[in-house]
């Protein structure tokens, strides 16, 4: 299906031009996933006109249908070509002002025009433009079913601007048009200032029963539907931390290089349900050197990573991390590193990587506190100078939540919180909110781990917290915090803590929990994504789109998840 649009503006000789182009390769997965991709060339000027001088726009809409065996898909079956009734294109300045084209708010292509040449005039010169594409179903022109946009592009007289855009469903679940180049689990995802998602490290290869970490890095571009494999890290890392600096550079540190699905003995603790080993040492700073697809003049990747600290003494398996930013403008701050296991014993020290942002970035690693053994606690920033720790304690302890800062370790004074391990935690300090969800629990006096099936909302400034039951308990999962919408979203993981079983299968559950009631039993409260996943990662873009990236389907198996699923987060439940 091609939509061809041509025309010359009277004022500036700017016009739309284009060609049909296929932007994804067909592939089938064990889940039903829909991606809609539009590729267009938008240009200004007559020198590069095609055919008879009337340039064209060619839009190819694709549906990435991955069959589950029942023939169903996210748009209720059929081909998107049969469902797209019309397409609207709108132009905005960098300041957000709508630019009219030939006196109209949008270039609109109706159903009967999608296979014809349609003249469009009146596109002015625009710098750093944002272009929005809205797709409407047949018979429905009141609200779009799909939407995509590109930003930062220029329209200049005499120049041709090539634009590739993905049309995403505005509600419900969907799929990114391309899979991961390197399927992985236990990785990091970082949204860059330009909206792309940087994916680093994780476990990728099973060798003699041991999962090995990778140094590979990928770059996901939500606008164009592309994934680029770019320069790798210096070190192989998984279960590490990635810290975004204000200038777009990313710090990688911590993590491990090996995982085994067998128990690990730790003194004074029940056996850990899995074995982590060979810590990834040092600190590196990564600079992305590949522009967005729609802004590229070359495909040459100039990404670089600088190894700025090669220390090894402060890094351990089962260590947890939290970045506390002391200066929002510069990005200066501290990465707190709590707990871990060394020679079968819980680590008693909490270290901090003090970051001074400049060119180059400089770091200093110091001990922030000692004499408090911790293993795999939950950890998040709690202010400009402190981090919050839940769990990771021995069963003989009675207090399981603390604040840590430089030289200070203070007990949580609010209502008691559980002793959690391998859970998920996120913070929104602008709204004084930390959320922790599920994980394994080791109650006071208990001889082993049990599954925690609750969510916890915490105010770090007032030491007030509330809790509520989740639909089910899970660990090795991830969550997204949508404070503005009044809820958080728990995704994936596994409900089985017994790794002696033949299978430890992932779940495909996604539940939204109200921050007000701490209850999942609300409208649109839960759903099922298509590919179960453990140790995946969740990224939320600035426009409120949640991406589920990577994971493994069975912790005792070998099937890594390359499919990237997504959904548009609702404003409120």
Token couple for 20:
């049909």
Token couple for 65:
């249908």
pLDDT band at 159 (very low <50, low <70, confident <90, very high): low
| pLDDT of amino acid 21 | 27
How far is CA 426 from each of CA 284, 387, 453, 458, 518, rounded to the nearest angstrom? 24, 12, 17, 10, 15
Q: What is the mean pLDDT of the chain?
A: 84
Q: What is the DSSP code string of 85-150?
A: EEEEEEEE-TT-PEEPBTTBSSEEE-GGGTTSEEE---PPPEEEEEEEEEEEETT--SS-SEEEEE
pLDDT, tens digit (0-9, with 9 covering 90-100), for 323-380: 999 999 999 999 999 999 999 999 999 999 999 999 999 999 999 988 889 999 999 9
| pLDDT of amino acid 154 | 83
| pLDDT of amino acid 122 | 67
| pLDDT of amino acid 160 | 67
Token couple for 528:
């099922």
Q: Is 280 or 521 the better-scoring residue by pLDDT?
A: 280
Report whether pLDDT(428) > 90: yes
- β-bridge mates for residue 440, sequence order: 421, 451
| pLDDT of amino acid 525 | 65
- β-bridge mates for residue 118, sequence order: 5
* Averaged pLDDT, 247-273: 97
Q: What is the DSSP code string of 402-434?
A: EEEETTEEEE--SS----EES-EEEEEGGGTEE
Block residue for tokens 């949508």: 482
For the chain, the first-to-last Cα distance in angstroms comes to: 37
Residue whose C-alpha is closest to residue 529's, from 514, 543, 549, 544: 549
| pLDDT of amino acid 125 | 83
Give the C-alpha separation, 567 to 540, whole Å. Answer: 10
Give the C-alpha separation, 13 to 43, whole Å. Answer: 10
pLDDT band at 119 (very low <50, low <70, confident <90, very high): low
* Averaged pLDDT, 60-81: 41
Block residue for tokens 């991390």: 321
291: exposed, middle or buried (Cβ count in 10 Å: 0-12, 13-18, 19+): middle
pLDDT band at 185 (very low <50, low <70, confident <90, very high): very high
Report whether pLDDT(494) > 80: yes
pLDDT, tens digit (0-9, with 9 covering 90-100), for 19-48: 322 223 333 322 223 344 444 445 443 334
- Residues 460, 518, 532: CA angle, nearest 5 degrees: 105
Report whether pLDDT(17) > 50: no
Report whether pLDDT(112) > 80: no
Give the C-alpha separation, 530 to 170, whole Å. Answer: 18
pLDDT band at 59 (very low <50, low <70, confident <90, very high): very low
SS3 294: helix
Report whether pLDDT(68) > 50: no
Report whether pLDDT(71) > 60: no
pLDDT, tens digit (0-9, with 9 covering 90-100), for 273-327: 999 999 999 999 999 999 998 898 899 999 999 999 999 999 999 999 999 999 9
Report whether pLDDT(5) > 50: no
80: DSSP letter: H
Please give the order of strands across the beta sheet that includes 387-390: 378-381, 387-390, 401-405, 408-411
| pLDDT of amino acid 94 | 93
Tell me how many helices (H) and strands (E) the chain has: 1, 45
SS3 306: strand
Q: Give the alpha-carbon dihedral of 151, 156, 160, 161, to 10 degrees.
A: 0
Q: Is 59 or 432 the better-scoring residue by pLDDT?
A: 432
Token couple for 431:
């709204």
Q: What proportion of the chain, given as a percentage, has pLDDT over 90?
A: 64
């Amino acid at each position: 299906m091609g939509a061809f649009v041509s025309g010359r503006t009277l004022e500036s000789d700017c016009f739309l031009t284009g060609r049909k182009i296929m932007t994804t390769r067909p592939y089938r997965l064990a889940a039903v996933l829909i991606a809609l991709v539009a590729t267009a060339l938008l240009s200004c000027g007559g020198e590069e006109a095609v055919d008879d001088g009337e340039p064209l726009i060619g839009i190819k809409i694709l549906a990435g249908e991955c069959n589950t065996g029942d023939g169903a898909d996210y748009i209720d079956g059929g081909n998107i070509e049969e469902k797209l009734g019309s397409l609207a294109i709108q132009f905005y300045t960098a300041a957000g002002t709508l630019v009219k084209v030939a006196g109209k708010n949008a270039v609109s292509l109706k159903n009967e025009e999608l296979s014809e040449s349609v003249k469009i005039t009146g596109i002015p010169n625009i710098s750093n433009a944002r272009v929005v594409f809205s797709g409407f179903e047949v018979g429905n022109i009141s609200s779009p079913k799909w939407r995509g946009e590109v930003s930062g592009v220029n329209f200049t007289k005499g120049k041709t601007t090539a634009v590739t855009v993905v049309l995403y469903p505005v509600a419900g679940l969907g799929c990114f048009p391309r899979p991961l180049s390197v399927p992985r689990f236990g990785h990091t995802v970082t949204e860059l200032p330009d909206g792309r998602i940087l994916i680093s490290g994780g476990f990728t290869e099973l060798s003699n029963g041991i999962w090995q970490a990778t140094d590979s890095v990928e770059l996901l571009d939500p606008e164009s539907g592309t994934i680029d494999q770019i320069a790798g890290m210096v070190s192989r890392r998984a279960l590490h931390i990635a810290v975004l600096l204000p200038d777009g550079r990313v710090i990688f540190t911590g993590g491990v290089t090996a995982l085994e699905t067998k128990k690990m003995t730790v003194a004074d603790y029940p056996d850990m349900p899995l074995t982590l080993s060979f810590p990834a040492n040092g600190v590196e700073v990564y600079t992305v050197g590949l522009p967005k697809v729609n802004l590229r003049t070359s495909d040459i990747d100039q990404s670089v990573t600088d190894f700025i600290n090669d220390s090894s003494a402060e890094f351990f398996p089962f260590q947890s991390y939290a970045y506390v930013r002391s200066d929002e403008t510069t990005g200066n701050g501290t990465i707190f590193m709590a707990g871990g296991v060394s020679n079968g014993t819980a680590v008693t020290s909490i270290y901090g990587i003090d970051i001074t942002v400049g060119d180059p970035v400089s770091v200093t690693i110091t001990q922030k506190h000692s004499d408090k053994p911790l293993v795999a606690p939950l950890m998040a920033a709690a202010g400009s100078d402190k981090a919050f720790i839940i769990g990771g304690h021995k069963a003989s302890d009675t207090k399981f939540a603390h604040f840590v800062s430089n030289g200070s370790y203070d007990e949580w004074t609010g209502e008691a919180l559980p002793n959690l391990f391998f859970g998920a935690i996120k913070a929104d300090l602008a709204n004084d909110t930390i959320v922790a969800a599920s994980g394994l629990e080791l109650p006071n006096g208990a001889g082993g781990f049990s599954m925690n099936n609750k969510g916890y909302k915490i105010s770090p400034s007032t030491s007030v917290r509330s809790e509520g039951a989740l639909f089910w308990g899970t660990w090795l999962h991830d969550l997204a915090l949508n404070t503005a919408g009044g809820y958080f979203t728990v995704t994936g993981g596994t409900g089985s803590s017994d790794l002696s079983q033949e299978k430890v299968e992932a779940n495909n559950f996604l539940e939204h929990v109200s921050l007000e009631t701490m209850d999942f039993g609300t409208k649109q409260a839960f759903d099922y994504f298509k590919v179960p996943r453990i140790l995946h990662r969740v990224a939320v873009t600035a426009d409120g789109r949640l991406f589920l990236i990577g994971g493994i389907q069975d912790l005792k198996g070998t099937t890594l998840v390359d499919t990237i699923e997504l959904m548009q987060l609702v404003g409120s439940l």
